[in-house]
Amino acid sequence: MNEKIGRVYFGILGIITLIFGISDLIVTIGGNNFSWSILEISSDMFRGGWGGLIVISAGLFYLSSLKNFLEIHQLSRALMASMLIWILAGTDIFVKITESIPGGEEGPWFNSLEGFLGTYAPPYPPVIFLLPFSLIILFFLSKRKKA
Amino acid sequence: MRLTADERWNLIEEISNKVLTYGKFKHTLKDALGELTVKPLTGIPIAIVVLYGFWSVFSSFAGTLCTDGFFVKLFDGHFLPWIQSIFPGKGGWIYYIFVGDPVADNCFEAFGVLTSGLFVAIGVVLPAIFIFYLMMALLEDVGYMPRLAVLVDTIFHRIGLHGYAIIPSILALGCNVPAVTATRILETKKQRFIMMTLLAIFIPCGAQLGIMQEVIPESIGIVLLYLIFGYFLFGFILNKIVPGKSPEILIDVPPYQKPLWNNISRKLRMRLGGFLKIAVPFVLFGCAIVNILYLTGTIDWLAKTLTPLLTGWFGVPGETVGPLVAAFLRKDLAVAQLSVIEMSRYQMITSVVLVSIYFPCVATFVMLLKEGWKNLLGSLAVLITVIFFYGGLINVIWKLLGVQ
């Protein structure tokens, strides 16, 4: 049962991740940032270009892990896909943290509380949305460990 | 007692049967992850994400948080006006050497030992070196570096090296001095010569990267692309012309493990200590020497003499002579100097590449000398060829693209 749930879940997540990665690349090639509601895709070569390639790789890793999903080598592929997303999302969050602490060129040494919290307001890049869904791999790993 | 070969083998079997237990090898998750990181199809995306994370954390911590967030404000807003007002003898040559331009409103432009010198060493380079070595120590302790060595082994064989050449190459991105020492992990004289030459010419140190991130953030990718391309192009050529062997090696890949904070802090302390002892005095000394050369008119004379070569062959302004002289002392200092010279974006890219491939900084120079004067002379011969050939080639590329 776990295997079937895992295959369906990571199959869907893999396709969505792949779509996000391709969108990253398309937006980068287009040269203009794309913004829709609380989602923002950057056209910056580093974030959109290299980041897009990494998101595509994560999507492909998820999809390649579906066959015989609970086997250790397959599960490690899904884990690796999640790790790619964690590193990307982690660096995005880290960038926000480093921007939120100083008070700006003309301002005080440290940011005000509103300014600090305001840095974390939407829109967010796609990997931030993928982050919570990628954490589900930990559930499958813990299940396997218990078994 | 003498035994025949058969008797020896029988004895070995007898002993091994007594002491060994055979079981079925079961792959763990760590093993499976380890395999993924060394297979090219899966290992390359993982290497890309590791380098992506490395660069992203490096630039946001050193650039956004430390330098732009606090040190620029501290140095430009408080320290510079204070030192300009209290230092005696405004207009005199001692003032010029130690404080620099008396009307400068930022530390990049002042160019005194106590203004630009301290700002570059402490405000820009120290945070860059700190975060670089911290992440490097983390990757080493986790066990990723040997896997990266396996992954890039085939590519490095094309330039006469092997996978472990990635260690001095990445170390050089922090500082060339320990990287020159690290070339000893390579087996033959040929490999060590190629590695030392390539890292002295094509690998910018963390200090230089920090400054580049600060003054030319929009062009840093192109500069690095030129340097990476040059690294492999000239590596390939050197492999063909330098006599000697490039043997295969067996790499022992340890399992992934949790990093030990004791190890990391020890490595960090040792490497930062080395940086503070070697690099900081050179930055301050470099500022002083360049200011003295300006005061005595040497730089102006050199600029006039070398302008035809610089503008005609490399396509950069004659004023870049000053930074090129400073580059021998500290490359980070030279890039900082370039940032205040008026030139186009493409001239700036060429100038920064020239500063990078120009003579190694004096600390690296001393390390190369320690490894043998023949190596040093050979490296310098390659370096002079590279400067003229590659510098001229970049200028030709801009002209062909019509952007110069």
Give the pLDDT confidence of B198-213 residue by residue, as tens digits: 988 899 888 788 888 7
- CB–CB of B32 and A76 under 8 A? yes
- CB–CB of A80 and B53 under 8 A? no
Residue range A39-93, pLDDT digits in tens: 999 888 788 888 999 999 999 999 999 998 889 999 999 999 999 999 999 999 9
Task: State mean pLDDT over A13-20.
Answer: 96
pLDDT > 70: percent of chain B: 99
The residues spanned by each domain of chain A are 2-82+123-146
B40-58 and B29-38 helices, crossing angle to 10°: 90
Query: Quick one: how far is CA A8 from the chain centroid?
Result: 19
Q: State residue B238's pLDDT score.
A: 92
A93 at interface of B, judged by CB pairs closer than 8 A: no
The residues spanned by each domain of chain B are 32-253+268-401
Name the residue of chain A whose CA is nearest to B56's CA: A91
Buried b (16+ CB within 10 A) or exposed e, B260-296: eeeebeebbeebeebbeebbbebbbbbbbbbbebbee
Mean pLDDT across chain B? 86
> What is the pLDDT confidence band of residue B404, given thresholds at 50, 70 and 90?
low
Tell me which of A38-42, B226-230, B328-332 is least confident: B328-332
What is the Rg, in whole angstroms, of the alpha carbon atoms belonging to chain B? 25
Q: What is the largest CA-CA distance in chain B?
A: 92
* Contacts with B, A 99-128, CB within 8 Å: 99, 101-102, 105, 109
Tokens representing residue A89 in the block: 């999302």
Task: State mean pLDDT over B376-402.
Answer: 88
Q: State residue B105's pLDDT score.
A: 85
- CB–CB of A99 and B48 under 8 A? no
Spatial distance between the Cα atoms of B250 and B174, rounded to a whole number of angstroms: 27
- CB–CB of B56 and A99 under 8 A? no
ipTM of the complex model: 0.93
* Contacts with B, A 45-74, CB within 8 Å: 45-46, 50-51, 53-54, 57, 61, 72-73
Task: State mean pLDDT over B152-165.
Answer: 89
Q: State residue B37's pLDDT score.
A: 92
CB contacts of A96 in chain B (<8 Å) are none
- CB–CB of A91 and B56 under 8 A? yes
Is the pLDDT at B307 greater than 90? The verdict is: no
CB contacts of A79 in chain B (<8 Å) are 29, 33
Q: State residue A127's pLDDT score.
A: 95
Task: State mean pLDDT over B234-258.
Answer: 86
Q: State residue A138's pLDDT score.
A: 94
| Pair A46, A30: CB distance under 8 Å | no
Is the pLDDT at B174 greater than 80? The verdict is: no
Count CB neighbours of B22 within 10 A: 7
- CB–CB of A88 and B61 under 8 A? no
Is the pLDDT at A1 greater than 70? The verdict is: no
- CB–CB of A72 and B27 under 8 A? yes
Q: State residue B47's pLDDT score.
A: 92
- CB–CB of B221 and A45 under 8 A? yes
- What is the 3-class SS of B66-86, one letter each residue? HHHHHHHHHHHHHHHHHHHHH
CB contacts of A80 in chain B (<8 Å) are 33, 36, 42, 46
Tokens representing residue B93 in the block: 């040559």
CB contacts of B56 in chain A (<8 Å) are 46, 91, 94-95
How far B304 CA sits from the closest chain A CA (Å)?
Answer: 39
Task: State mean pLDDT over B353-363.
Answer: 80
Closest partner residue to B64 (CB to CB) among A61, A91, A98 is A98
- CB–CB of B50 and A57 under 8 A? no
Q: State residue B329's pLDDT score.
A: 66
Residue range A85-129, pLDDT digits in tens: 999 999 999 999 999 999 887 788 999 999 999 999 999 999 999
- CB–CB of A91 and B57 under 8 A? yes
Helices (H), chain A: 2-30, 51-64, 72-100, 113-118, 126-134, 137-146
Closest partner residue to A87 (CB to CB) among B28, B53, B70 is B53
Q: State residue B70's pLDDT score.
A: 93
B321-329 and B331-338 helices, crossing angle to 10°: 160
- CB–CB of B27 and A73 under 8 A? yes
Is the pLDDT at B330 greater than 80? The verdict is: no
| Beta carbons within 8 Å of A65's beta carbon, 6+ residues apart | A10, A14, A74, A75, A77, A78, A81
- CB–CB of B32 and A72 under 8 A? yes
Q: State residue A77's pLDDT score.
A: 95
Tokens representing residue B41 in the block: 């199809």
> Across the A/B interface, how many CB contacts are shorter than 8 Å?
85
Task: State mean pLDDT over B376-382.
Answer: 86
Is the pLDDT at A11 greater than 90? The verdict is: yes
A13 at interface of B, judged by CB pairs closer than 8 A: no
Residue A65: which of A55, A53, A80 has the closest Cα? A80
